[in-house]
Structure 1
């Protein structure tokens, strides 16, 4: 069998001479990537301590809330995951989609003279915001599929917040 070649292969295997503003990492046992090195390191700390991918993902998500609070993948967003368990051959779905606030009823919007839920930019756009579902999904993923305790997984985020 011949070895793949070409520009994409070279870039993926770090053999291309190219400039980057980010650290280039590779691994054979696991890797964590994010928009910030400290977030990635929070996940890597879980893997290095014997945790699994769920421990790493949840640690990274909580760390992101501290070091990148406005990023789209932090606790203020949604988290939807489809998980395939190779051992049991089961498929699991985690739905951390936000829910509408309790007061976001048809009567509420009609009382504001709105014929539909507002979206996009505008003075009423905030009325369509949901209650974030990421926290619940992260904790459910940790409980169902993780190997570490909540305290262990939150430790990097707590450390970043304190320092």
Structure 2
């Protein structure tokens, strides 16, 4: 019971930012804290975004995981450049249209969206490395550190995680 109370207090603890003009929001307080930690250590917004996404993959894998993908819309402040990073899952290199046809050459209904043939190569790990390497200021290992720590040490599991598991 004491551990549970301590965990609740730690999660609910306010983050005291070491930066003047930044905001971080995420689906989990530990991920938000990870982004704040990276900013406080001198990282930029891209570094913080990588830290948040990686931590969400650990503490909320049912909604944000390394096995998935997504899109990143970035804007670089120094030159106003806008960048889209397509991190969606991709089909394996050897996959082709014939994979979804039956012996008679007809499409198998739903084969591309349900079942083992619907699996793709996750895009998020490559996106984390790309965003950190191209736009971040801190080493990838540093921005991933909060996620690694939570994966190794554990973290309090809320109702949503418990239900998903």
State the TM-score, normalizing by the size of structure 2: 0.70
CA distance in 1, matches of 2:118, 2:65: 19
User: Are residues 30 and 91 of structure 1, via their aligned partners in 2, closer, same or farther at CA, if it must alter by over 3 Å?
Assistant: closer
Whether 2:88 is the aligned partner of 1:97: answer yes
Whether 2:42 is the aligned partner of 1:50: answer yes
**Retained in 2: the 8 A contact 1:64–1:74?**
yes
**Retained in 1: the 8 A contact 2:100–2:111?**
no
Whether 2:152 is the aligned partner of 1:130: answer no
- The alignment yields a C-alpha RMSD, in angstroms, of 2.9
**Retained in 1: the 8 A contact 2:102–2:108?**
no
Q: 1:141 aligns with which of 126, 131, 137?
A: 131
Indicate the structure with greater helix content: 2
> Structure 2 regions of 5+ residues with no counterpart?
1-10, 154-165
Which structure is larger by alpha-carbon Rg, 1 or 2? 1
Q: 1:62 aligns with which of 54, 72, 97?
A: 54
> Structure 1 regions of 5+ residues with no counterpart?
1-21
Equivalences for residues 5-154 of structure 1 within 5 A = 29-71=21-63, 73-111=64-102, 115=107, 118=110, 124-154=114-144
* Deviation larger for 54-63 or 127-136: 127-136
**Shift of the alpha carbon at 1:129?**
2.7
CA distance in 2, matches of 1:146, 1:63: 17
**Shift of the alpha carbon at 1:111?**
3.9
User: Are residues 128 and 74 of structure 1, via their aligned partners in 2, closer, same or farther at CA, if it must alter by over 3 Å?
Assistant: same
CA distance in 1, matches of 2:126, 2:142: 17
CA distance in 2, matches of 1:151, 1:61: 14
